[in-house]
């Protein structure tokens, strides 16, 4: 990806002026297009400066498993930049290195369907940060190459037929020529429709099988140092207005941090993009409407609660549209749209959080659709991931069947799996089993039969109900109490929208408790506090349990012997980079409001205790997984209203209350 220094050198002049020397805007409109304001991709026309990394001629803002994002722009007839654009291009090469089970589930048909859903969701928003419609959002365009010598885009043509090279989605033609079909795989090939069955094919995905009917991109398209692929694979594309401000940076500015513009994908409004001047340019605190230290603290809380509510709502909308958890929610998932400030109203009050990227969760139906396993691509761990299970364990063990429970809908098997290696499993995880019974091979999916995560070499299991033939049912029944060696197994941690709910709780910690310390420290303190609060109610009956907000308040107001420690760890003094002691900050934002904020985050940690709104990371309404976020949104709405009332007083109501008090006192 592009370095922050290079990106800053491109966009530092802002909008309304030409690109700086060393860069050019190349129109990617089709040849003959009459567009007065063309969509362009930004290319580097000069070699990189000494001591800097050569990032290539195209400026890559970000990369995802199935897409790549380039810096683009819209220009007028004078080559002035009117808007900065994100050019998203499908690119499935990132799926080559993910686990096989995930790659098999993310075939081309599903990739295209998810892309179209994502584009429709962004279109439906109908806002200034939406799509610049070009027609390639829902269908595959011709490949787009960039000629660096002539600074023009090219749709490659096959010389003999004068036909365009296009993406081949014809499964029959591909298989007839001994190549993988398009729909059920991630392999992609270009072909020339005019040549019919005589066409050659160009593999455009890494690792795609080839034969004597295939040509390389270099020999067929002239790919080389002066001709590069913007969309070599003819993937669908999306042009979206680039916000230029990531959520992380906006949070830091609200916290009073003097953010120095790096020009990264989340560069500040100081770059002249979508936000006017940054908080730094206006001076510390002048981005807020209040004056005084106490006023800034309360206003910061209000604006940060709005950010969190926006982020939760955007994730809920995305999950509702896709029908699957995101499983990749983190602060970098969001940008902030900041309109230019109006007189007397800073842009921070009109700031709005937008979701920058789609989720990566993929659903796999199991046991005839009785259950759905949602999985992500794996990879590096993150503080935003719950990490409730250990690494996947696969091997061969022995299965001891305890009993078979059968009815007309299918059978459930209770058994114990004995393994050589210890496995860490939680109640929401899944175990795949391949067992041989009476000479028949049977695939089963089971969940651990215990309430808490356990590390053991012997695990009690209960299979998901699935239909079995009468003969197979009898064979399994006859194996009750028998050890079946040679049983293949693999542990599959399950996840659904509670995984995203946890990530949003961590995002809440990032927004509210990290002005003066790293996220890892704040998250550790908050999780310790959440466990302390939940443990305090462990011995209380459900119908007599003290409300969560009251238990939180009891700890923070001094009635708990450890109250001072917890106030220092998770008090509102961490909202801003200004000197506050915990007790004074709590008094300013009011204990009731702050305890409500903490209670909302505690409830959002799945499986933590009796107050958790989700019992585990896999439990979600099967037809409406987005409903998992509703309790958190319900908690945040009144908190936003209450915090606003501390910032902007209702003088009319205050006068009415005052007159009532005076009239009562005179009687």
Backbone angles phi, psi at 282, to 5 degrees: -85, -15
**417 touches 459 (CB < 8 A):** yes
Which CATH code is given to the segment(s) 389-492? Answer: 2.40.30
The DSSP letter of residue 269 is G
Judged against a pLDDT cut of 50, whether residue 329 lies above it is answered with yes
pLDDT bin (cut points 50, 70, 90) of residue 261 is very low
pTM for the predicted model, two decimal places: 0.82
590: its two tokens: 């009011």
Burial class (CB in 10 A: 0-12, 13-18, 19+), 475: middle
Q: State phi, psi for 70 to the nearest 5 degrees.
A: -110, 155
Count of CB atoms within 10 A of residue 647's CB? 17
- Decide: 359 and 328 in contact? Cβ < 8 Å: yes
Where in the chain are the domains?
1-242, 247-359+498-652, 389-492
Q: Which of 135-139, 276-280, 447-451, 493-497 has the highest mean pLDDT?
A: 135-139
pLDDT value at residue 26: 96
Length of the chain measured in residues: 667
Tokens of 348: 């921070």
pLDDT digits (tens, 9 = 90+) for 194-205: 999 999 999 999
Torsion, Cα 602 607 610 611, to 10 degrees, reads 30
Residue 284 pLDDT greater than 60, yes or no: no
Residue-wise pLDDT tens digits, 172-191: 999 999 999 999 999 999 99
In what helix (H) or strand (E) does residue 323 lie, and over which residues does it extend? none
Sorted by sequence, the CB contacts under 8 Å of residue 618 that are 6+ apart come out as 374, 428, 429, 494, 495, 496, 498
Question: Quick check: 217 and 204 in contact, CB under 8 A?
Answer: yes
> Residue 644, class by beta-carbon neighbours within 10 Å (0-12 exposed, 13-18 middle, 19+ buried)?
middle
Q: What is the pLDDT of residue 106?
A: 87
Our CA angle for 554, 638, 549, nearest 5°, is 15
**Is the distance from CB of 526 to CB of 510 less than 8 angstroms?**
no
Structure tokens at 624: 């409406």
């Amino acid at each position: 990806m592009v370095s922050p220094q290079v990106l800053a050198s491109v966009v530092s002049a802002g909008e309304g002026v030409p690109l700086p020397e060393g860069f050019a805007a190349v129109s990617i409109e089709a040849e003959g297009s009459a567009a007065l304001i063309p969509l362009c991709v930004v290319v580097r026309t000069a070699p990189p400066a000494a001591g800097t990394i050569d990032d290539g001629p195209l400026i890559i803002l970000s990369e995802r498993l199935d897409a790549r994002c380039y810096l683009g722009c819209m220009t007028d007839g004078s080559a002035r930049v009117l808007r900065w654009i994100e050019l998203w291009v499908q690119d499935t090469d990132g799926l080559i290195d993910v686990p096989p089970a995930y790659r098999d589930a993310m075939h081309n048909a599903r990739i295209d369907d998810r892309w179209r859903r994502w584009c429709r969701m962004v279109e439906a928003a109908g806002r200034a940060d939406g799509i610049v419609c070009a027609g390639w959002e829902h269908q595959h365009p011709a490949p787009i190459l960039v000629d660096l010598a002539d600074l023009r885009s090219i749709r490659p043509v096959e010389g003999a037929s004068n036909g365009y090279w296009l993406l081949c989605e014809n499964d029959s033609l591909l298989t007839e020529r001994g190549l993988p079909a398009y729909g059920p795989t991630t392999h992609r090939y270009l072909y020339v429709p005019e040549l019919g069955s005589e066409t050659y094919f160009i593999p455009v995905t890494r690792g795609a099988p080839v034969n004597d009917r295939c040509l390389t991109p270099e020999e067929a398209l002239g790919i080389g140092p002066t001709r590069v692929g913007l969309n070599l694979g003819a993937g669908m594309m999306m042009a979206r207005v680039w916000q230029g401000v990531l959520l992380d940076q906006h949070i830091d500015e609200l916290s009073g941090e003097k953010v120095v513009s790096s020009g990264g994908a989340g560069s500040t409004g100081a770059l002249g993009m979508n936000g006017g001047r940054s908080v730094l340019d206006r001076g510390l605190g002048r981005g807020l409407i209040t004056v005084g230290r106490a006023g800034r603290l309360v206003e910061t809380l209000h604006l940060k609660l709005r950010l969190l509510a926006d982020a939760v709502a955007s994730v809920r909308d995305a999950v509702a549209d896709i029908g699957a958890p995101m499983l990749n929610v983190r602060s970098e998932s969001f940008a902030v749209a900041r309109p230019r400030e109006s007189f007397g109203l800073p842009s921070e009050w009109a700031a709005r959080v937008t979701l920058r990227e789609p989720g990566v969760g993929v659903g796999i139906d199991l046991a005839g659709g009785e259950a759905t396993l949602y999985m992500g691509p794996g990879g590096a761990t993150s503080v935003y991931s719950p990490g409730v299970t250990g690494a996947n364990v696969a091997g061969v063990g022995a299965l001891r069947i305890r009993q078979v429970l059968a009815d007309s809908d299918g059978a459930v098997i209770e058994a114990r799996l004995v393994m050589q290696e210890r496995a860490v499993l939680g109640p929401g995880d899944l175990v795949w089993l391949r067992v041989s019974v009476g000479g028949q091979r049977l695939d089963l999916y089971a969940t651990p039969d215990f309430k808490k995560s356990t590390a053991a070499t012997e695990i009690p299991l209960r299979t998901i109900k699935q239909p079995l033939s009468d003969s197979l049912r009898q064979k399994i029944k006859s194996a009750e109490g028998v050890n079946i060696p040679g049983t293949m197994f693999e542990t599959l941690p399950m996840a659904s929208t509670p995984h995203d709910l946890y990530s949003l709780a961590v995002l809440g910690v990032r927004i509210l408790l990290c002005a003066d310390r790293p996220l890892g420290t704040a998250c550790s303190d908050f999780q310790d506090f959440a466990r302390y609060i939940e443990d305090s109610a462990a011995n209380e009956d459900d119908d007599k349990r003290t409300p969560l907000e009251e238990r939180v308040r009891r700890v923070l107001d001094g009635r708990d012997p450890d109250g001072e420690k917890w106030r220092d760890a998770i008090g509102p003094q961490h909202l801003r980079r200004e000197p506050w002691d915990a007790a004074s900050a709590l008094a300013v934002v009011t204990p009731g409001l702050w305890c409500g904020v903490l209670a909302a985050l505690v409830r959002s940690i799945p499986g933590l205790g009796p107050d958790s709104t989700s019992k585990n990371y896999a439990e979600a309404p099967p037809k409406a997984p987005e409903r998992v976020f509703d309790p958190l949104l319900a908690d945040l709405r009144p908190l936003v209203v209450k915090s606003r009332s501390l910032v902007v007083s209702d003088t009319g109501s205050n006068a009415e209350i005052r007159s009532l008090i005076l009239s009562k006192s005179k009687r």
